[in-house]
Amino acid sequence: MLKMTDVSKVYRTELVETHALRELTLHVDEGEFVAVTGPSGSGKTTFLNIAGLLETPTSGTYVLDGADVSSLNDRQRSRIRNEKVGFIFQSFNLIPDLSLADNVDVPLRYRGWSGAKRRKVIGEMLDLVGLGSRKNYLPSQLSGGQQQRVAIARALAGQPRFLLADEPTGNLDSEMAEQVMQLLEGINREGTTIVMVTHDPDLAARAQRNIHILDGRASDQPMPAAAVVTELEARREAAHV
In the complex, the residues that contact another protein under the rule CB under 8 A are: 45, 48-49, 52, 54-55, 74-75, 78-79, 81-83, 87, 89-91, 93, 95-99, 102, 105-107, 109-110, 112, 138, 154, 158, 166
Q: Which is nearer to another protein, 58 or 82 (CB)?
A: 82
Q: Which is nearer to another protein, 40 or 238 (CB)?
A: 40
Provide the sign of the torsion angle of the four alpha carbons 78, 83, 89, 91, taken in this order.
positive
Least Å distance, CB 24 to another protein, is 17
Least Å distance, CB 103 to another protein, is 9
Least Å distance, CB 42 to another protein, is 15
Distance CA 133, CA 207 (A): 31
Q: Which residue in 191, 116, 203, 201 sits closest to 159, CA to CA?
A: 191
Least Å distance, CB 46 to another protein, is 9
Q: Which is nearer to another protein, 14 or 74 (CB)?
A: 74
3-class DSSP assignment, residue 86: strand
In this structure, are residues 33 and 194 in contact, taking their beta carbons and an 8 Å threshold? yes
Least Å distance, CB 106 to another protein, is 6
Alpha helices by DSSP H, listed for 52-163, are 74-84, 100-109, 115-128, 144-157
Q: Which is nearer to another protein, 25 or 45 (CB)?
A: 45
Cβ contacts of 13-16, under 8 Å, gap ≥ 24: none
Q: Which residues contact 106 (CB under 8 A, 6 or more apart)?
A: 95, 98, 154
Distance CA 185, CA 189 (A): 6
Least Å distance, CB 227 to another protein, is 27
Q: Which is nearer to another protein, 48 or 128 (CB)?
A: 48
Q: Which is nearer to another protein, 48 or 180 (CB)?
A: 48
